[in-house]
Structure formats: structure tokens, C-alpha cells
Structure 1
Amino acid sequence: MLKQYDTGIFYDEMMNTNGTPKRHYQWFYELVEDFSENELREKHETAQLNFLRKGITFTVYSQAGGTERTMPFDFVPIIIPKPQWNKIEEGMKQRLKALNHFLEDIYHDQEIIKAGVVPRGLVENNPYYYKQVQGLDVPLRNHVFLAGVDLIRDENGEYRVLEDNLRNPSGMSYVFQNRYVMRQVYPELFFQHSIETLEHQLSELQQTVMSHVPKQSEGNRSLTAVLLTPGMYNSAYYDHVFLAQQMGIELVEGRDLVVKDDVVYMKTIRGLKRVDIIYRRIDDDFLDPEAFRPDSALGVNGLLRAYKAGNVSILNGIGNGVADDKAMYVYVPEMIRFYLDEEPIIPNVETYFLSDPERMDYVLEHLDELVVKNVGASGGYDMLIGPQSSEEERELFREKIIEKPNQYIAQPTIKLSRAPAYQDGRFYPCHVDLRVFVMNGEKTHVLPGGLSRVALKEGSLVVNSSQGGGGKDTWILSEGGEPHAK
């Protein structure tokens, strides 16, 4: 069935342009060639049913009333040889180190602004810059406990960073569920080949959470951590439930917590229990009605006071959004040079600021060739993909850009790499990206593999699950790229 597969003008993860598989995919290719059409359909159905049975869902808010769906899954994995993965890992550690330095700096001495590397206005006028936490010393001086960095490969197969997610990156649970499902679909592979395991990764996450000891709890007693969720109607609720269960910490909503004398407590049937660390999955604005939005029904009154008093740690830190908005992304390579005196290991995608009149004129003339993004939006919303857009859509974006040029950036339409996907009884090429999860506490650790997202709609460039994308398992070959029988 792969004989008809056409790589086209794109870099393909699995296939060479001459129709042969890449060396590290040879064994998988041979396996697939041996399956009959019925066996392939069965494997596809087994995978989808597993997601359904486990209740692995997300919500698509763009549908009327919000629609709950199972995550579409494709059983052709993304396989990355170890030497390639080592470079990704080093690049992610470098990037996160610089971003964390940046957050510590702009909430304290602002050296990078004084040096003229990052414009003051870009920080101080940023809606995600919270003066309420200026000068606050956070545990381990670490603002980013968990990052989700999105990588793509260009037409030459080179990795590039598409965006940083430093607030509430979602999707880690899908990495583990993708692996669980793949073990059901291809049990034989995991016995025969050296694929890096995910077995101890959740205990790494738990240790990273627990390493953020608040000032007033140092050397005291055993610490209590909780995961604070907006509740079951949130699109990533499955993610919250899974991570809390696997880390052995309580899943709580705002109404389950109370602040007394600047100390956070959890309500239990045995009375109040002190809470030291909150892994929050609620946006900054909704965390504390007293400090931010008074109309928030999700947060906890007085939480910021407890945070400032050093009685509780909040992960990820408040105000991280200033470092991961799409305008600040342009400056990350400069941050790496400024704070670490190093060249970026993994480069950015070339990006145009529309606040520059010359650049804006260029972008307005070439809307049909570029990708335009709202700097504050995520999940594939408020985005124009020029080559796939209508004249009407381009006109709408032209008006938006002219009205608020600072709100948008533009990027060349990169020829995103593709990989085979099996849907509707056939293999066809789909665009993919990779979300890499980086845990940061007393040490920095990168989850091996991460979440490969795939644009299952044929020809689509949008991989977000909220826009019709799906997932693939990601395998790191632990023996330098060559599988062998164990």
C-alpha cells in the first residue's frame, strides 16, 4: 500500500524521494508491508477504540456549545534516531534556561531591557506582564516548571522552534496514552526493538513538582502538592485528571481551597490541610479574584498574598505569558546569546513584526504566501494560512492588521515535514509537528519523544486537535538509530 505513496516536495519523516524507506524506518516499513488490508483496518480500529474506552477526550469550542471528541490517533509512529534526539534535547535545555533567565530578569533587574536587547514597551505593554509579581523571589528562581516547545522540520529536514508554551502546556497525558495504545496495536515491536521507555517519566514530573519548596516550608514537614483545575468542562480536563492520578497528588478546584492568615489550606473530611505547592492549570487572570479578575469563580481569594508571603509555590509561575507570546518569540535567540553567551542550537522560524511599517507593507502585499498569527492566540485560532486562504479571508486579515499591527506577526509558509498516516483504508502523507515537554526543577529533564501532532485533514497545515488534528506515538531509538532484538 505504501508503493503508491508520494513524498512530493516535502521532507518526509519515513520515506525517501525514490520511494524507499529511510534506514531507521526500514524494519517498520517491512512490518507494514506484511499486513493485509484487513489487518491494517483492524489495527486502526483497535487504536481508536482504546481511546474511546479510556474516555480520552478534548473539547472543540469552535463548535456550537462545545463538542467533546476522542483524540484522533494514527498508528504510524514518528521514529527519531538517538543522535538526532540528543541535539533536540540539548537545544530544549538551552532554550528553557535562557527563557527562565529572561523571566527572572524582567521581574527583577531588567538587565536585558537596559542593554537594549528587548524593547521595554514589548515587555511593559504586554498583557501577560504582571506587575503584581515584580520583585518576587520564586523557589529555585525557576518560573517554568513545565514547558511545551513546538518543533517543526523544514524542507531540508532541519528542526526549528515554532513556538514556546510556558504557561499551561497541555497534552502530556496523550504522550503516555499514545504509547499505551501502540503497545496494544503492535505488542511484538516493543519486545524486539530498543525504543526508549516512558516508564519512569511521571515520577520525574512528580519529583520536579515537589522540588519547588516554598520559603516558609523549608525543612518543615512532608509537603502537600495539589493540581488546581478549572473543572470538568475545561478542554484539557482529561490531562489534569491523568497527571494528578499518576503523580499521586489531589485534584482540586478553587472552591476546595481556602486562604487563612496568608496560608493555603485544602478542605478535607478531616478538616483543613495545609497546601505547599500548587500545580495550576488555571490562567493567571482567574487565579485570585482579590488580585486579578474579581468576577473569577475558578480561583482562590488571597492566593497571591500567600504566594508573596512565601507560604505556597505556584507552578508554572504567574506572568510567564510575557515570555511565550508570539512577538517575544522573535527575541529568544537574542536571549540565548545575552544570558548564556551561546548560539541557539535549534533556530526559530523567520518571523516578521508587523509594527515595522516596511515589514507590514511587505506582508500586506504577500498575504497569499505567508502565515499570519495573532500574538496572543493559541490552538490554531485567529490565524491565516495564506496559500490555503480565500480572497475574503485575506481581506479580513488585511483590515485586522491595519487596525492593530502590533497584535500580529507573519512567517513564511514553511514546507512542514510530512509522514504517512493511515486513515479511511489507505496511507497518505500528512504534515506533522512535535511538542517536546521539558521539566525544570533542581535539574532539567526532557521527556523522551514528546507529542507528535498530525494534520489528518489531507493537505491541511494545522495540527492542533481543536482544528481536526490528531496524534502519533513518538519513538526514540535508544541504540544510536539501529533497532536490534532484545
Structure 2
Amino acid sequence: MLIPYPTEPFFDEMFMQAGEPRLHYAEFYRRLRRFTAEELKEKHETAQLSFLRQGITFTVYNNEIGTERAMPFDFIPIIIPPRDWELIEKGMIQRSEALNLFLEDIYGEQHIIRDRVIPKELIMNNPYYYHKQVKGIDIPLNNHIFLAGIDLIRDDQGKYHILEDNLRNPSGMSYVYQNRYVMRQVYPELFARHSIHPLEHQLVHLYQALLDHTPQSFSFSSSPCAVLLTPGMYNSAYYDHVFLAQQMGIPLVEGRDLTVVDDVVYMKTIRGLRRVDIIYRRIDDDFLDPLHFRKDSVLGVSGLLSAYRKGNVAILNGIGNGVADDKAIYAYVPDMIRYYLNEDPILSNVETYRLTERLEREWVLDHLEELVVKNVGASGGYDMLIGPHATGEEIDRFRLKIMQQPHQYIAQPTIRLSRAPSFQNERFYPCHVDLRVFVIRGRNTHVLPGGLSRVALKEGSLVVNSSQGGGGKDTWILRREGGEV
């Protein structure tokens, strides 16, 4: 079957401008063309049903009402050749190291503020800065970032850029595995003659990094006890929580399953209390401990912060990480890399306008129809303006928001995101894509070979988030150039 595919001035992951497949896609393209239209339709429906049967869903919130939806899946993978992946891997390790040094610094001596690399008010006024709660805590490995999810894009020239850092509770790793599982089950023919980095044993690195954070107070008379703390089944990423707990072989617990006695955390079991040494939490900071954060929280554990401060339990990711993945702080990450590592950034940022700066703000207000505007505290594609696609009313509304709260927003040029073919509604068409790369940090740093390729399945949309109509693709990292066995 031939793939009718429009050519427009975007960088396409699969095709060159002449319409020929790129070298690393050539074998995949040859095999894809052997399918008939009926076979593609049948396989597409089988893949979607597989996700539904396994309960692989996410929650979309609209007017504070949650709706469960199956994760949309597209079978054409993002294929990355080894030379590109080597660059990405090095860039991710560099960036995560600089961000961790930044967190250690601002909750410690604050050299970067004293040296005026980053404005003091950007830290002190940040809603995710928990100086009072976190300052002075001696954490295992001095590591605040156990798992990072860093979003990567390509521009119209094919150059890679970091779009966003997720250092609090990055989600989506389970979808990486389920995308691969469905691809192997439904489209086994496409894997023939491709040498791809496997995912099967990668979660060993996650589990080992978890254990690397065992507190010094741990008694080596037994094995350390690690748990995954979830808000519960109504959380939008609950499937992710269940999957990771099962794969690492650790208990999945809610706040009511834990208690703190004499600054030590225990898990309630049918055999009595069992001490907990490591908590991989998937609960936001505000809800962790009602004694020190939100008093109305029923998700966390009273006294947890005291146990953390005493060094009796490790909490991963660290409390207060949000100050480092704030979208306003994002603009300064290249400066962090130069400051802490004395290196130039391997992967560049997207150009970012800081709206607290008067001249930059005035320029942005005059060019809103050309720009993307983001709320520094929002995620999932919410409270965001895409100027070229916005109505005059939407632009006026964001202009007012910026004038009233300039510290709450940043602006960026509208990047012509790279595209890849997708097969939906029985036809092929180009969709914009990005890639969430997962960086695992313990005694060593490991980058998951691949990641979550997200695709904007609404034609012409630039928003890849599942909550805004996006879906997922499998991600293949080739072991050798050309990719053939």
C-alpha cells in the first residue's frame, strides 16, 4: 500500500522533502507498504482495543469533572538513529546534573543567587520553593532528582531543543512499555530486520536507583523497604503508579496505609507495622503532610516531614523540586549548566521571553499573535495561548492576564514542531510530535533508551498532551546506523 502524504515546510521524522524515507526508516517503510488498507484498519482497531482491555486510561478534567479515556495509540513509531541518541543521552545527563546541583544549592548556600546568575525574587516568590521545609536536610546522595521526564522537540531544521523539565512527578513511563507491548503483539512484522534497544530489563535501573537512596539510618539487619505512594485510583496517572509498583516489586500504598511513630514511617500490614525506608511518592508536595503543608489533605501522612528531616526516610523525588522545573526558571537552565558544570549546553532551550522584564513584556504584548504563552505553574496544555491559532478574543484575554500577573507567564516563539505520519480514521496524515525522555538518577545516571513519543492527533494541532487530544507512539532507538540486523 502506498502512503499518500502531503509535503509541507516542516521537518518530517520519516520522510525527506523529496518524499523518500530517511535511511533509518527505509526498512520500516518497505514493510509498511506490504499491508493492505483492510489489514491496517483491522490492526489499528486491535491495537486500540488492547489498550482498552488492559485499562490503560487517563483522566481528562473539564469543569472539575473527570472523564476516563483510553490512551489513543498510533502504530508508526518514532525511530531515532544511534548518532542522534548519543547526543540526546549526553544532553539529558548534563541537564539533569545541573538541575540537581541547582536544587542542592538553593536549599543550601545559594551561591547562584549571590552571584546574580538567577534573580533572587524568581526563587523567593516561587510557589514551589519550600525553603523552610527543606533547607539543611541531609538527603541520600545529595540527589533531589530520582526520576526526570524531560520533553524534547525538533524544529523545522531538525535541530533538537528542550521544551520542558518535569522534576516533580513525571508520568508516562508505563505508556512507553505498553506502546512497545502492543506494537509487538499487533505489528510483529514491522520488527523484522530491525536492531532496536530492548526495554525488557530497563526497570532494573529504576529499582536499583530507588535502593541507592536508602537512608543512612537504615539497619542492615534486613532489606530496605520501599513503597510507591499514590493518591489513589481516581488520580489521572493511577495506571502509571500501578505499573511501576508491580514492575519494581514494591507495595503500592495510599496515605492511610502509612503512619509515623517517633519520627519513623511505618506501613500497616496484617502482621503489624513494618518500617518504611524509601517512599517513591506520586503525590504533590502540598498534600504530603497535613501538619506542614495543606491542613485539609487526606492523601498524605501526618508527621512525614519530621521523619524526612530526621533522615529516617527518603522521599523521591525530593520535596521542593518544583522550583527547578518552573517554566520561568527554565529560561535560566543553560546558565545553570555553565555555572555549575563549566560546560556549554549540549541541548539548547527554546528561546524564552521573561515577562517580568519590562522591555520583553512590552514586545510580547505587541506580538501575541506570533507567540506561544504559557502559565509557569500549569501543565497538560492548560492555560496556554498558541497565538497563530488563537482568536482575537483569546489574545485579548491573555494580554490582560499578562498585564495583571506578568510573573505568572512566559512567552516563546511558535516552534514549527517536527512531524511524523500517523494512521487514524483509515488514512495517513502528518502530525506534530515530541518526546519525553526519562532520566533515572541514583549512584549512576541512566537514560531510558527511547521514551514517550507524544503525537498531536488533531490535524494541525501543536498540543501533544493526552488531555488535549494527543496520543502516543512507540519509540525505537536503533543499535546501529541504518537499523537493520
Q: Give the shorter-chain TM-score range.
A: over 0.9
Specify the alignment match of 2:9 in structure 1: 9
User: How big is the shift at 1:210?
Assistant: 0.9
The alignment partner of 1:4 has SS state of coil
Identity %, equivalent residues: 70
* Whole-angstrom CA distance in 2 between matches of 1:2 and 1:423: 16
* Whole-angstrom CA distance in 2 between matches of 1:151 and 1:2: 30
Residue 177 of structure 1 aligns to which amino acid in structure 2?
A: Q
Residue 442 of structure 1 aligns to which amino acid in structure 2?
A: R
8 Å CA contact 2:3–2:33 kept in 1: the answer is no
Specify the alignment match of 1:337 in structure 2: 338
8 Å CA contact 2:31–2:190 kept in 1: the answer is no
8 Å CA contact 1:99–1:332 kept in 2: the answer is yes
Deviates more, 1:321-330 or 1:42-51: 42-51
C-alpha distance after superposition, 1:161-211 (max 9, x if no partner): 000000000000000000000001221333532011001111111111111
Deviates more, 1:434-443 or 1:41-50: 41-50
2:51 is equivalent to residue 51 of structure 1: yes
2:23 is equivalent to residue 23 of structure 1: yes
Specify the alignment match of 2:283 in structure 1: 282
Alignment of 1:58-457 (within 5 A): 58-62=58-62, 65-131=65-131, 132-217=133-218, 219-457=220-458
Deviates more, 1:186-195 or 1:239-248: 186-195
- Are residues 267 and 350 of structure 1, via their aligned partners in 2, closer, same or farther at CA, if it must alter by over 3 Å? same
The alignment partner of 2:332 has SS state of helix
* Whole-angstrom CA distance in 2 between matches of 1:74 and 1:189: 14
* Whole-angstrom CA distance in 1 between matches of 2:220 and 2:112: 35
TM-score by length of 1: 0.98
C-alpha distance after superposition, 1:215-254 (max 9, x if no partner): 2116452100000000000000000000000100000000
8 Å CA contact 2:31–2:189 kept in 1: the answer is no
The alignment partner of 1:380 has SS state of coil
User: How big is the shift at 1:482?
Assistant: 1.8
* Whole-angstrom CA distance in 2 between matches of 1:141 and 1:171: 26
User: How big is the shift at 1:64?
Assistant: 6.3
Residue 95 of structure 1 aligns to which amino acid in structure 2?
A: R
* Whole-angstrom CA distance in 2 between matches of 1:204 and 1:99: 21
Where in structure 2 are there 5+ consecutive unaligned residues?
Answer: none
8 Å CA contact 1:76–1:472 kept in 2: the answer is yes
The alignment partner of 1:61 has SS state of strand
Residue 407 of structure 2 aligns to which amino acid in structure 1?
A: N
Specify the alignment match of 2:483 in structure 1: 483
- Are residues 245 and 151 of structure 1, via their aligned partners in 2, closer, same or farther at CA, if it must alter by over 3 Å? same
The alignment partner of 1:460 has SS state of coil
C-alpha distance after superposition, 1:342-400 (max 9, x if no partner): 00000000000111111111111111110000001001000000000001111110110
* Whole-angstrom CA distance in 2 between matches of 1:471 and 1:103: 31
Where in structure 1 are there 5+ consecutive unaligned residues?
Answer: none
Deviates more, 1:352-361 or 1:320-329: 352-361
* Whole-angstrom CA distance in 2 between matches of 1:176 and 1:125: 39
The alignment partner of 2:217 has SS state of helix
User: How big is the shift at 1:4?
Assistant: 2.6
C-alpha distance after superposition, 1:280-324 (max 9, x if no partner): 000000000001111100000000000011110000000000000
8 Å CA contact 1:7–1:16 kept in 2: the answer is no
User: How big is the shift at 1:6?
Assistant: 1.5
The alignment partner of 1:266 has SS state of strand
